[in-house]
Structure 1
Amino acid sequence: MRNPAPSAGAVLLLIDLQRAIDHPSWGERNNPAAETQVGRLLAHWRSRNWPVWHVRHDSTEPGSHYRPGQAGHEFKASNVPLPDEPVIAKRTNNAFIGTGLEDRLRAAGHSTLVVAGVITNNSVEATVRMAGNLGFDTYLVADGCFTFARTDWNGTPRSADDVHAMSLANLDHEYCTVVTTDALLGNGQPQ
């Protein structure tokens, strides 16, 4: 098993943490403390001047809360990018598709990613799979992500916790190493 504490050069990559994700139409979510964990990660990275990159979904769907110009398009107050933190605009569920993310990361000399954000089984999973396939050393912060309840292909309701857990299981040890915030931060003690 790899070290659960990536090096200081690791990029904290935050995916789609925008106000749209709080719209009630999404339904029941898991991990209500995810934003708190992301805040801990941000504080840790920023206090050390480590790289923080943000991914913003720019939907082209007319009714989407993620569409530019909608209130939901804005970043959540808990994770507004600082002026020197790159913002990657995407239009698909994969932060690498059509964004230049891979080229920008490689040009900056980054090979390790620590990923948190939403939705675990959608944009997070798609981005982490691609990162792993592209050879990035990738860590997914389980308690820094969340998702929503779904009904599976044969009509069985699945809780948000079940959907989240299955997505993490799909990724762990093949595309990334799944970790917790405490593991990354040394059980909450600054490293």
Structure 2
Amino acid sequence: MKRKYTKSALLLIDIQNDYFYKGKMELSESYEIASIAKKMLHDFRKKRKTVIHIQHIALHKGASFFVSGTHGAQIYEEVAPLEGETIIIKNTTNSFSGTDLFDYLNTKKIEHLTIVGMMNNMLNDSTVRTAKDLGFKVEVVCNEYASNNQFVF
């Protein structure tokens, strides 16, 4: 019997303090993205859908941001995980590379990913491409400066 719906998950990628005011890699659009992420997070929590926080921790010696144990590496307070929400630590731009994200999504039978994160051109791009290659339906929610703030792949 074919299912009538697909299971969805929200991936919040690298929404960490170092991208905000006084952070080590402050981005001009960080607050707009955090606002979008907060709204999406609220919607997913309200519907009791799966939420996954992707946190980048730098491993290379001499890293200038996302250094383990620093305030900058912590997930931004407005989108911080609640008890029981999954946090996946990554060390590269791709959220699938060297992590158990794929296994976790398969275990939960997730077919559709909604992605909100920092630096769409770099961090989200590699994750989106891998997700598509692995067979997931992917929706990327961007900041309001984009002409269309949602893309479905």
Bucket of the pairwise TM-score, normalised by the shorter protein: 0.7 to 0.9
In the alignment, what sits opposite 1:15? 13
Larger-gyration structure (1/2): 1
Kindly provide the CA deviation profile for residues 113-150 of structure 1, in whole angstroms up to 9, marking residues without a partner as x.
00001111111111111111111000000228xxxxxx
In the alignment, what sits opposite 1:177? 152
The Cα shift of 1:9 comes to 2.5
In the alignment, what sits opposite 1:106? 106
SS at match of 2:142: strand
Residues 24, 65 of structure 2: 8 Å contact kept: no
The Cα shift of 1:107 comes to 1.3
The Cα shift of 1:30 comes to 3.6
Residues 54, 90 of structure 2: 8 Å contact kept: yes
Query: Structure 1-normalised TM-score?
Result: 0.68
Q: Which runs of structure 2 are paired with 1:52-91 in the superposition (5 Å)? A: 52-61=51-60, 62-91=62-91
Residues 8, 50 of structure 1: 8 Å contact kept: no
Where structure 2 has 5 or more consecutive residues not aligned to the other structure, the ranges are: none
In the alignment, what sits opposite 1:143? 143
The Cα shift of 1:8 comes to 7.0
Distance 1:113 1:28, change over 3 A: closer
The Cα shift of 1:67 comes to 1.2
Where structure 1 has 5 or more consecutive residues not aligned to the other structure, the ranges are: 1-6, 145-160, 179-191
Residues 31, 143 of structure 1: 8 Å contact kept: no
Moved over 6 A (4+): none
**Number of aligned residue pairs:** 146
Query: Structure 2-normalised TM-score?
Result: 0.84
For the aligned residue pairs, the C-alpha RMSD in angstroms reads 2.4
Residues 17, 23 of structure 2: 8 Å contact kept: no
